[in-house]
């Protein structure tokens, strides 16, 4: 389905991003794995050795403009094109109005979740126009509903991703480039653990209708559908993968 396609996946060192990279590799895509942790990137790249496509690891900090520029330059130097961009990198941080560190948390979350994604999208857009490619942005159900008050800044960043995605879907649509969103609910990743929680057993104020937590591979499957020709008439859409969490709000 994706043979000869060049796919950039950010946040590819773990969780949903890793599952997306592996899923594209299984479909014979040339996968560019972008992340900060070289050791984990290498581990995921080894799991990508399942198809005929090539794998390229780029260790980078997406919050640094020079690193984002280097990502695009390296991909074009190696493949001379970009077909698909999957923006999956992101962090979750807790904070409240009474936290003296709130603005530092805000800056970190916005730089990582939003600004870096916009910058990479900006720099890849001309290549995606040339290839008539597409973009899939990984957001969150938090972009549609506030699940916890201490997750508000995370939710703000994800809501902004949703609006940005719809806006550029209009801008890039005239060039034949599609842009879509995937919004996972609670998923078995290290996102919550990295935010300081001891387990995934976190009260989000909602109960999944299907009474389960999503696997990263389930989210990856939706991403691949949206990136494929099967979704050639789909753009500006937000596909929710939350086991029915939002239905219970």
Q: Could you list the active site residues?
A: 154
Total number of residues shown for the chain: 249
Pairwise CA distance, residues 183 & 87, whole Å: 12
Pairwise CA distance, residues 149 & 76, whole Å: 42
Q: Which long-range contacts (CB under 8 A, 24 or more apart) does 172-178 make?
A: 172/125, 172/128, 172/129, 172/135, 173/235, 173/236, 175/129, 175/132, 176/129, 176/132, 177/125, 177/128, 177/129, 177/132, 177/133, 177/134, 177/135, 178/134, 178/135, 178/226, 178/231, 178/232, 178/234, 178/235
């Amino acid at each position: 389905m994706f043979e000869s396609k060049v796919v950039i996946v950010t946040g590819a060192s773990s969780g949903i991003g890793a599952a997306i990279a592996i899923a594209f590799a299984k479909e014979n895509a040339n996968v560019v794995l972008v992340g900060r942790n070289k050791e984990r990137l290498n581990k995921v790249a080894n799991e990508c050795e399942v198809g005929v496509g090539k794998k390229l690891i780029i260790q980078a900090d997406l919050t640094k403009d020079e690193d984002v520029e280097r990502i695009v330059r390296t991909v074009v130097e190696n493949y001379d094109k970009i077909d698909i961009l999957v923006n999956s990198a992101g962090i979750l941080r807790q904070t409240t109005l009474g936290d003296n560190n709130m603005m530092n948390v805000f800056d970190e979350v916005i730089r990582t979740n939003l600004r870096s994604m916009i910058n990479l999208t900006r720099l890849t857009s001309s290549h995606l126009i040339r290839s008539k490619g597409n973009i899939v942005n990984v957001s969150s159900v938090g972009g549609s509903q506030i699940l916890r008050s201490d997750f508000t800044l995370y939710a703000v960043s994800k809501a902004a991703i949703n609006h940005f995605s719809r806006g550029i879907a209009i801008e890039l649509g005239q060039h034949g480039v599609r842009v879509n969103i995937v919004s996972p609910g609670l998923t078995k990743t290290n996102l919550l653990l990295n935010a300081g929680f001891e387990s995934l057993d976190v009260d989000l104020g909602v109960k999944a209708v299907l009474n389960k937590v999503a696997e990263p591979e389930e989210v990856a499957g939706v991403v691949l559908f949206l990136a494929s020709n099967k979704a050639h008439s789909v753009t500006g859409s937000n596909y929710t993968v939350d086991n029915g969490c939002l239905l219970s709000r």
